[in-house]
Amino acid sequence: MTRAAPPIQTVSTGLVVAIVGFFSSFPIVLQGLTAMGASPAQAASGLMMAAIAMGLAAIGLSLRYHLPISVAWSTPGAALLAVSATPAAGFSEAVGAFLCAGALTVLAGLWIPLGRLAAAIPTTLAQAMLGGVLLPLCILPFKAAVDLPWQALPVILTWFVAGRFNRLLAVPAAVIAAAIVVVLNAKGASVAPAQVVATPVWTWPTFSVASIIGIGLPLFIVTMATQNIPGIAVMRSFGYQPVSGRLFSAVGGASVLSATFGAPATCLAAITAAMCSNEDSHPDPNQRYWSAVMAGVFYCVFGVFAVAITGFAVHADPLLMGTLTGVALIGVMANATFAALEVPAEREAAILTFAITASGISVFGLGAAVWGLLAGGVAYLIANRSR
């Protein structure tokens, strides 16, 4: 029988999940929103609404289905935004692309053929695209180590040393190190944010074919292939049987509702789903959903204070923020690259996808991720036909 209140163990697990989920990747979200042309107020609003959207979605879905449904913002999607060109119409056009990506996710849950099409994209190509997106970002810490050694190196070393003890807490430790670096380099000047509680900022969306194809579609693909589908697989690996279509539509709906406030994409989590679903969450599998519920509560709390985080980050050197982004993504890139090259027969298509995506080219208004996936897809089909 389900308890009326969350067990204490799941409260502590939820807090750890929220700390890892939020503080391991918020610099990436800020980088992505800034690259899309968001003002500081719009970036704070986007971070806040992304956290609240995933928090409310986790609470609602976990309570509704009594499953440990961990929800996240799309870290790979934010990384994609960070290396994409700013749309011609600025952030409003990016918001239009966010809406389209969310709508496609809803449709993928409701319309089985689209869901199957998204799932049919070869894993090697999807991971190669992700790896190509992440490469320029993962290089940043080492550029910063040369150009800004006294600020970047303490963050890199903290991340590396902390990772030897606990990989999940390595990036939060690096965030603390970066905060100390910012304070020490302020030379007595105040770095306190002007505002503590965030205020949502509405951005009226504009739409263009270029942004829908160049931003919205890749955002949908990378989020489905690297977050939503693996998130379902993680839950099933622990013996749970979620209905994937309903969950896809739910997180897609959360994306649509939060997009006009600047949030890029809400999705199912994979890593934190494992944290909520294993026996460390709670010995009783029927009680583990409370861990996802409590993580959602803490996400909402962090979101309310997102403007304080972005206000503090304004005082950081851009290279320092790039360092945080890069170290947060190195593990993700390593996994993506391994998965991309895992199948020998598909390596040539995967490397083609990776190289074109990493090149950062833009042709006919379409970014490198689109061209990389197209070229890799053609190579994949030709190779399969020749075999």
Pairwise pLDDT comparison (44 vs 270), residue with the higher score: 44
Gyration radius of the chain over CA positions: 20
- HSE on the CB side for 50, CA within 13 Å? 34
What is d(CA 98, CA 370) in angstroms, rounded to the nearest whole number?
16
Give the mean model confidence (pLDDT) for residues 291-311: 90
Tens-digit pLDDT profile for residues 176-217:
898 888 888 877 666 666 667 778 999 999 999 989 998 999
Tens-digit pLDDT profile for residues 212-235:
998 999 999 889 888 898 888 888
Cα-based distances in Å from 356 to 125, 130, 162, 275, 369: 12, 12, 34, 35, 7
Q: What is the pLDDT of residue 9?
A: 83
Pairwise pLDDT comparison (324 vs 266), residue with the higher score: 266
Q: What is the pLDDT of residue 192?
A: 66
Q: What is the pLDDT of residue 4?
A: 62
Cβ burial 156-186 (10 Å sphere, 16+ → b, else e):
bebbeebbeeeebbbbbbbbebbbebbeebe
Tens-digit pLDDT profile for residues 29-61:
999 999 999 998 999 999 999 999 999 999 999
pLDDT of 1 over the 50 cut: no
Local structure of residue 169 (DSSP, 8 states): G
What is d(CA 381, CA 5) in angstroms, rounded to the nearest whole number?
53
Confidence of residue 386 (pLDDT cuts 50, 70, 90): low
Nearest residue to 244 (alpha-carbon basis) of 110, 101, 54: 110
pLDDT of 165 over the 60 cut: yes
pLDDT of 3 over the 60 cut: no
